[in-house]
Amino acid sequence: MIPRRPVSLQTRPRSKLQNWQAFVRAEASKTWVETPYSGNVHLALVYLYDTDPVDTDNIIKPIQDGLIGLVYEDDSLVTDVEAHRRSLSDTFDVALFPSLLLRGIISGSECVYVRINSAKALESYL
């Protein structure tokens, strides 16, 4: 989980984007203990926002880039992306939520939950 409001790919100055990517990597390194993926990966994001959310499509690439070399060898390995945006004021049935996502909801602060898995065969998504 990334405990901060995400930064858009279109943010200016570019140093803010670079700082965000470094923060993403630092947060991921706290929980990522595996070797980097070398095959195709599926990236799933859940962005929990308070007010005035960032466009979901603009937060994907900076997060992907922040994980290069730690979670996967290169972001070209990300073949499948799933992105969700929900207000922190929504009602959630948390019974099946992963603990990191649950922690984000309980915090009440904007955050992004990130899950990485090996990509499945295309037909399994259809």
70's torsion region: left (phi>0), alpha (psi -120 to 50) or beta? alpha
Element (H, E) at 104: helix 99-107
Judged on CB neighbours under 10 Å (0-12, 13-18, 19+), 70 is middle
Instruction: Classify domain 14-118 by CATH number.
Output: 3.30.1330.70
The per-residue pLDDT of the chain, averaged, comes to: 96
Task: Report the distance separating Cα 18 and Cα 25, nearest Å.
Answer: 11
Q: What pLDDT was estimated at residue 26?
A: 97
Task: Report the distance separating Cα 106 and Cα 50, nearest Å.
Answer: 13
111-118 and 78-87 as β-strands: parallel, antiparallel, unpaired? unpaired
Q: What pLDDT was estimated at residue 107?
A: 94
Tell me the mean pLDDT in the region 30-49. 96
What predicted TM-score, i.e. pTM, was given to this entire model? Answer: 0.93
